[in-house]
Each structure stands twice: as structure tokens, then as C-alpha cells.
Chain A
Amino acid sequence: MRSATSPLTIATPRTLDDALSMLRDTPLVPIAGATDLYVGLNFGTLASQHFMDLTRIDALRGIDVRDETLVIGAGTTFTALMQSVTVQTRLPMLVQASSQVGGVQIQNRGTLGGNIANGSPAGDSLPVLAASDAILVLRSASDERRVPFTSFYTGYRTSVLRADELIVAVEVPSVVGTQWFRKVGTRAAQAISKLVIAAVRSDAPRIAIGSVAATTIRLPRTEAALASGASIDDAVNTLEAEITPIDDVRSSADYRRQVAGNLLRRFWADTA
């Protein structure tokens, strides 16, 4: 461990109200599964010294259906998502995405809210939330607001989340159509994505991709092309113009552009 952990502090609220009061009064970095936290501390990319543990707050966990909307507590682990019959039935692409997050030990600790807050453009669950038109419930000590997932990020690892707010839940409206998910990594398990895609086949197809831009993105022009009956070749051309992949340690822009097109073809063929 490169950084010393002894100066670091952690607050341990037991209720959501206590947590939000603490956040109102003091700058604290909320943590849950801590699976990204120590990586950041280790690489020296996390300057914060003061943290707040969210794992003791029962109100942040749970999976429920209210008025045909799937409501997932932000502190729900990937293992809990995979085991939920409700999620298996309503949002199978989220079960697939969860099963692709790290190995079992990471799935046991990592949370949906943590994946969102960490904001990596490679986050495995994020294309699912973008493709399903999910709404994030953000709460502070003074108010609560609902932000569409697709409006949450403002750039690379930046978002509209204020320092006094917590992501408390994710609301997913009923998804009409066939859900499809695919992750491409260096190996089948325990790899950060080179590309990750979630899509829904219906009269109004939806496509969301991670690792091809600064944030996870929807592809509205590609979706419109497919909805209007364009050929898959034309749709792939549109997609290639719509994404902005970069060369980095995990892959090259050319590879990502090629594979994104291939995945669109695969989605269209698989769900025909």
C-alpha cells in the first residue's frame, strides 16, 4: 500500500438522515463496497482523507417495484442484483452486467450506486442504466431531486451530484423490447471493459455504450437510423461517426470503433 492509511478518518452513520446531516456540515467522501477506493488511494489519485461509510444504512439497500417502476437502493450489491428474481424478470441486462463486474468477491461488495458515483466511462452497469432510461434519486439534507441518468454526467468522471448529496436510489421504468448486453474485455472474467454495450430491440431501439467516450453514452443518431429502417451497414456508419473512442492502456481507438460496429451488428442479428 503506497499511501499511509493511518491519517484517514471514516464517519459511520447508521441512518440516512444522519448521513445527510454529516454531508451538509462536512466534506466527506461516501464509500460503500470500497472496491474503487483503495485502488485510488494506492495509485495516489484520491486526495481525500475523510470518508463516510454507507454500508450500515439499511434504507440504501433493497429492490422494489412501485407503479411498474423498478426501484433499486443505491447500496444494493451486484450479488444482490444477480440473485433478485425481480431484476432477473424486469431487467435481465442488469443481471448480465452485474455478473461481469470483477469476480465474486467484488460482486459481493461493489454497489450499483458506487458504480454510478465512481463514474468510470468503463463502468459495467452504466450502459444498462442509460439504455433503460433510468432516473437517479439524489437526496441532500434539504431536498430530493430526480435526474435522468443520461443527464447525470457532465464530463469525464464529473457529474451534477453535489458534495452534500447522496445517490439514494435508481428508478427504472418498464423496458419494452428485447434486452441485450455484451462486454468485451481482455479475458472473460475480472477485466475492465474495452467496450461495454446495452441495447433494447423494439420499434424505438435504444443503444448505450461505455468506453467509447468520456462518459457512458446513448447513441441517438444510430437509434434513429435503426428506427427509420436504415440498413445495418448504414447504422454502423452512423455509429462510427457518433462515438469518440481514444487510445489508452486497455485498447486503441481503431479497435474500439471496429468492435462497436461489430457489436451493433451482433445485437441486431441476435434480436431479429
Chain B
Amino acid sequence: MRFTLNDNPVDVSAPPMKRLLDVLREECGLTGTKEGCGEGECGACTVLVDGIAVVSCLVPFAQVDGSSVKTIEGLGDNHALQHHFMNEAGAQCGICTPGMIMVASTLPTDASLEEIRVALAGNLCRCTGYEAIYRAIQKANEQAAQ
């Protein structure tokens, strides 16, 4: 199956109903995408398909044929969200972090706190606390808007 993965064309062989999450981790070796609940409740496995945030535990591999997939690795190693999540202590155990950051990366830089909260409603964090996460996203947005 051919698709674009983090801006590079790839051809990956995997069963068509395998979950995108498993294909990314097992076939593509991209383990930044985490499995939390495995049933679409927690958002830990969020990636972007054609720019839209989806939970990769609920996407059959066949449905990304010809699409563009972006994972946490695709944001590179020097991203504003990454730095602000560190600076604001927006991560503790870190399992929810890649999903939080992928959703945050879809937000406009002028997103209000309420818009950030709604966007992250499908991303559960059980240790850091949401305030630090919201703060990290707001700081990254402020930086991007400058």
C-alpha cells in the first residue's frame, strides 16, 4: 500500500484491516505513537491523516491508501510544541503527550483557551494535569504568532 508518511512516499505491506496504529509501530518502526485504551476513548494514538486528527487505533490500514499520514516523528526534533511541553512541565509519564501534541498541531495560533479545551476533549491525561498542557499549547501559539 502506497501512502505518504511524514512527507515521504512509502510502500508498506500489511493486512488491510490491521490498525493504522499497529502498522505505524510494527511495520514502520515509528513507536512515538502510543496505544492507550485501544478503543478510541483516550486519544494517545492520535495522528493526522490528510491533516485531520484521527485515533489510529480505529483506522483500518486500507483506508490510508493514497493518503498523507503525519505522526509525532513527522514534527521533527525541534518543534515549538515539544519545547513548551518540556518547559511548562506538560508531560509527566508521557504516554498522552504525542497525541496531545498532534491535536495541538492542528489548532490555529489564535485558538482561545476554550477552543484548546474542546480540541483536547478526546485526549485523556491521568497524571500531568491539563492546566500545564493548555499552558504549553498557549505558549507555543504565542511564539508562532510572533
Given contacts A38-B40, A190-B41, contact A109 B121 (CB under 8 A): no
CA distance A109 to B39 in the complex (A): 14
Contact B55 A106 (CB under 8 A): yes
B97 to chain A, nearest CB (A): 16
A5–B63 CB distance below 8 A:
no
A residues engaging B (CB < 8 A)?
A: 1, 5-6, 8-10, 12, 31, 33-35, 37-39, 42, 51, 53, 55, 79, 102-106, 108-109, 188-190
**Inter-subunit contact A102/B40 (CB<8 Å):** yes
In whole Å, how far is A172's beta carbon from the nearest beta carbon of chain B? Answer: 26
* Cβ distance A194 to chain B, nearest Cβ, rounded Å: 16
B2 within 8 A of A: no
Per-residue 0/1 for B8-33: is the Cβ within 8 Å of any A Cβ (1 yes, 0 no)?
00000001111100100000000000
Question: Which stretch of B46-54, B68-76, B78-86 is in the interface?
Answer: B46-54
Chain A residues positioned under 8 Å from B19 (CB to CB): 1, 5, 38
B144 at the interface (CB under 8 A from A): no
| Interface residue tally on B, bucketed by range | 20 to 34
Are B17 and A8 in contact, with the CB atoms below 8 A?
yes
Q: Tell me whether B60 is interfacial, beta carbon within 8 Å.
A: yes
Contacts of B118 in A (CB 8 A): 104, 189
A/B pair count, beta carbons within 8 Å: 90
Instruction: Give A158 to B61 CA distance when docked, in angstroms.
Output: 29
A105 touches B103 (CB 8 A): yes
| Residues of chain A contacted by B38 (CB below 8 angstroms) | 1, 38, 42
17 A-B Cβ contacts within 8 A? Answer: A5-B19, A6-B15, A6-B18, A10-B60, A31-B60, A34-B63, A35-B40, A37-B58, A51-B60, A53-B62, A102-B40, A103-B120, A105-B43, A106-B55, A108-B52, A188-B121, A189-B122
Determine the chain B residues whose CB is within 8 A of the CB of A102 once the complex forms.
Answer: 40, 122
* Known A5-B18, A5-B19, A102-B122; contact A53-B40, beta-carbon cutoff 8 A: no
A190 pairs with B16, CB closer than 8 A: no
The reply to whether A104 and B58 contact each other, CB–CB distance below 8 Å, is no
Q: Is the CB of B62 within 8 A of A42?
A: no
- Top 7 A-B residue pairs of the complex, sorted by shortest distance between their CB atoms: A103-B122, A189-B121, A8-B17, A6-B15, A103-B121, A105-B55, A5-B17
Q: Are A38 and B39 in contact (CB under 8 A)?
A: yes
Partner of A190, one of B15, B65, B121: B121
Minimal beta-carbon separation of B16 from chain A (angstroms): 5
Q: Does B119 contact A (CB under 8 A)?
A: yes
Is A105 within 8 A of B63, CB to CB?
A: no
Nearest A-chain residue to B124, judged by Cβ: A190
For chain B residues 74-130, which have a beta carbon within 8 Å of chain A?
A: 103, 118-124
Partner of A105, one of B15, B16, B40, B65: B40
B57 interface residue, CB < 8 Å from A?
A: yes
Question: With contacts A8-B16, A109-B54 known, what are 17 further pairs, Cβ within 8 A?
Answer: A6-B17, A6-B18, A8-B17, A9-B17, A34-B59, A38-B57, A39-B39, A42-B38, A51-B17, A103-B122, A104-B122, A105-B43, A105-B122, A106-B122, A108-B53, A108-B54, A190-B41
